[in-house]
Structure 1
């Protein structure tokens, strides 16, 4: 394994939320692909102005860069957040809370410089019903699942089976709109095996990013949401065999396997990953298995 290059927001796996009041944590972010300074849910109403000012000071010189989670459209802080942040040289993108329709993203984009990426954080049953339209908005860069608020809104349990339909909707809407993979909600307080299991669920539902609440969560999330050593070894072996056979499609399984192999190796390259020399993989579960 080599040192990973800078990961762009289209491929980013770990999205670390950092409370906007805790300035001492702004640069202690572990191995996060993306840092999101949070002036929304992590901050009490009485402290939102101070958190916003902390973020403005941190990003105003251009020395530091981060995304910012702002308060949702329709709240008393939304407009002030955008007016304060829009011109900052260190602002990389906006994590927009409580998105319930494409107009929320559109109105937010209108107050930002052209091209500022916006992640639409969908957190309510109403928002889920409008996921295809939110994803189809030209201003939506990526979808994210606000898991905690969604469960409070619906009364759903955190069991993966209970949330299977909802997670599937994020993946389907993202794919249909040509967006990068959706970002899953956090595993609150989880570390070790529990966190790996949670990130495994994220991956199983085709979601390619995950919100993190602690720097310690980021390396595990990055590992689980990246191609495994076994994946990479299988892809290299398949392409070697395919090319040695003339690089021609021989049957119906070659096309999906070729696409899977190329996707694995493209992601591995982006993340700076290589399998150890001499590693032998186990066969893929089936010819139609997709990464």
Structure 2
């Protein structure tokens, strides 16, 4: 499955066991809401949270937001029941944790056999073992529902026994490799959460780092992170103006058939035209969300 090309600047995790949080999610300006059955839910509340997530999706009211449900892993006592319930929920996507190999994607694909063709499979990239297999895992998108990755840097730090600093230095190679593998196979890719939700300056710097590395957006743990995240991952006025100028210049009769032209004193090639068209399209969709 090729990832639908739409804004995914902000993806907010909300515990599916918290009815008030789910109701609030319907009013928040996040592009994606992830109803969480995994980390945010205690073992004794898993079954009730699953039922609540499915009921929330069926009730609707999320507007233009994509709604995903994060399941527990298939290797847990809840995973199979989670995927069976999510398959019939009407959610836009199911997010599965701790994917480590192509076999994990194939197992999830099999468990979702009864789901509508439109349901996407999203995967958490958060284990040491997956880092060396990113290309192989991404390649399964050719014949499965896989369409998006979300980085799980906290879990990766735990497995690596590495320190999670503001610069995220130990994880930068994995972040780069994940973006490259995702782009090579048409998968959207979101940066991991920032644990600092009180200091939004710290959060903004991490979001800007994610933008620099090529991520489509970022996963979030608190509603206060939505506004700065949307701002960072939205095209700026200057970027949009430049994109429009490139599109207009290539549309001129005298530039028909040319592979490279000069726009505002800079060289622009057809690849820049493609980038400009995508940026404008995303900007128009963002405006439609407002």
TM-score by length of 2: 0.83
| 1:93 aligned onto 2:101 | no
Across the two proteins, how many residue pairs are aligned to each other?
264
The aligned runs of 1:180-195 (5 Å cut-off) are 180=188, 182-190=189-197, 191-195=199-203
CA offsets per residue over residues 84-121 of structure 1, 9 Å max, x none? 222123x2210111111122222222222142201111
Tell me by how many angstroms 1:164 deviates.
Answer: 1.4
Distance 1:242 1:85 in 2: 46
Q: Which runs of 5+ in 1 are unaligned?
A: 1-7, 274-291
Distance 2:163 2:206 in 1: 14
Tell me by how many angstroms 1:244 deviates.
Answer: 5.2
The answer for the alignment partner of 1:277 in structure 2 is none
Q: Which residue of 12, 16, 38 corresponds with 2:12? A: 16
Q: Which residue of 200, 209, 215 corresponds with 1:201? A: 209
Distance 1:62 1:70 in 2: 19
Query: 2:194 touches 2:203 (CA, 8 Å); kept in 1?
Result: yes
Query: 1:73 touches 1:99 (CA, 8 Å); kept in 2?
Result: no
Tell me by how many angstroms 1:196 deviates.
Answer: 1.4
The answer for the alignment partner of 1:132 in structure 2 is 135
The answer for the alignment partner of 1:266 in structure 2 is 281
The SS at the match of 1:246 is: helix
TM-score by length of 1: 0.82
Distance 1:66 1:254 in 2: 38
Q: Which residue of 258, 265, 268 corresponds with 1:254? A: 268
Tell me by how many angstroms 1:43 deviates.
Answer: 1.4
The SS at the match of 2:111 is: coil
Structure 2 vs 1, CA of residues 242 and 176 (structure 1 numbering), >3 Å: closer, same or farther?
closer
The answer for the alignment partner of 1:227 in structure 2 is 235
Tell me by how many angstroms 1:250 deviates.
Answer: 4.3
Structure 2 vs 1, CA of residues 262 and 103 (structure 1 numbering), >3 Å: closer, same or farther?
same
Query: 1:40 touches 1:69 (CA, 8 Å); kept in 2?
Result: yes
Query: 2:12 touches 2:33 (CA, 8 Å); kept in 1?
Result: yes
Q: Which residue of 210, 218, 222 corresponds with 2:218? A: 210
| 1:107 aligned onto 2:121 | no
CA offsets per residue over residues 237-283 of structure 1, 9 Å max, x none? 3444555582234469421433333232222122228xxxxxxxxxx
| 1:142 aligned onto 2:157 | no
Distance 1:9 1:55 in 2: 25
Structure 2 vs 1, CA of residues 230 and 157 (structure 1 numbering), >3 Å: closer, same or farther?
farther
